[in-house]
């Protein structure tokens, strides 16, 4: 299954992507995670990425496409994959269309006030588990960190860019009849059930 999970920053893409990836045994490909790894390594790509990420801006499409092309060559992508945070522009979606057949795009729709609380409150533990100081605080003794770009100014810029770029991508996939919209601000288990029912329908329809 080749899937895309879409949503504004904070919509819960990363959280649900991890569960889908485990349940369907397909890799979770997050361009944001790949870029953060490069930043942590201090590579040339990481240095370039950091300057964009710190301002909440998108990296140039050609850099992202090269990353994706390389990633899709890896063995674990043979039975499908799940994109999170990609494609972020219409050009990325069009380029992706030439190298992959996407079966379903699931959009997690959320209101902005929830997104801002989720992002400003997001804390990440060393094992990657995501907590939130407002909704799901980390247990005492668990060390967490905050993403550099989860500050209010950068969050507003990331949301602005998301809404600017989202509509043409949505129209692109709506024309292909594989776009599904669900609420991303319901209870986590309800959201996941809704995702599963879409994915099970895809499997049935094959």
Residues serving a catalytic function are 13, 88, 122, 147, 158
Q: According to the binding rule CB under 6 A, does residue 86 interact with ligand AMP?
A: yes
* Binding residue for ligand AMP, selected from 65, 85, 102, 180, defined by CB under 6 A: 85
Name residue, tokens 């990609």.
86
Q: According to the binding rule CB under 6 A, does residue 104 interact with ligand AMP?
A: no
Degrees (nearest 5) of the Cα angle 163, 166, 172?
Answer: 160
Name 34's Cβ contacts closer than 8 Å, sequence gap at least 6: 67, 71
**Shortest Cβ distance from residue 141 to ligand AMP (Å)?**
27
3-class secondary structure, 95: helix
- Both structure tokens of 27: 């890799």
* Binding residue for ligand AMP, selected from 1, 39, 45, 59, defined by CB under 6 A: 59
3-class secondary structure, 149: coil
**Shortest Cβ distance from residue 64 to ligand AMP (Å)?**
4
Degrees (nearest 5) of the Cα angle 186, 120, 170?
Answer: 55
Rg (CA), the chain: 16
**Shortest Cβ distance from residue 54 to ligand AMP (Å)?**
8
Q: According to the binding rule CB under 6 A, does residue 32 interact with ligand AMP?
A: yes
Q: Which residues bind ligand AMP (CB under 6 A)?
A: 9, 31-32, 35, 52-53, 56-59, 64, 85-86, 88, 92, 149, 158
């Amino acid at each position: 299954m080749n899937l895309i999970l879409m949503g504004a920053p904070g919509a819960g893409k990363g959280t649900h992507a991890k569960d889908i990836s485990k349940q369907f045994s397909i890799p979770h490909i997050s361009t944001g995670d790949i870029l953060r790894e490069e930043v942590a390594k201090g590579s040339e790509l990481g240095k370039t990425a950091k300057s964009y990420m710190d301002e909440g801006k998108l990296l140039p499409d050609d850099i992202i496409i090269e990353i994706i092309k390389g990633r899709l060559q890896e063995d674990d992508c043979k039975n499908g994959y799940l994109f999170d945070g990609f494609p972020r522009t219409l050009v990325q979606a069009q380029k992706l269309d030439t190298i992959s057949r996407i079966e379903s795009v699931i959009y997690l729709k959320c209101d902005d006030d929830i997104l801002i609380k989720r992002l400003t409150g997001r804390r990440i533990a060393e094992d990657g588990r995501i907590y939130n100081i407002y909704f799901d605080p980390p247990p005492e003794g668990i060390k967490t960190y905050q993403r550099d770009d989860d500050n209010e100014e950068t969050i507003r810029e990331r949301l602005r860019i998301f809404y600017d770029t989202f509509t043409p991508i949505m129209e692109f996939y709506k024309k292909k009849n594989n776009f599904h919209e669900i609420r991303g601000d319901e209870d986590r288990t309800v959201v996941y059930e809704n995702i599963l029912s879409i994915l099970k329908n895809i499997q049935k329809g094959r």
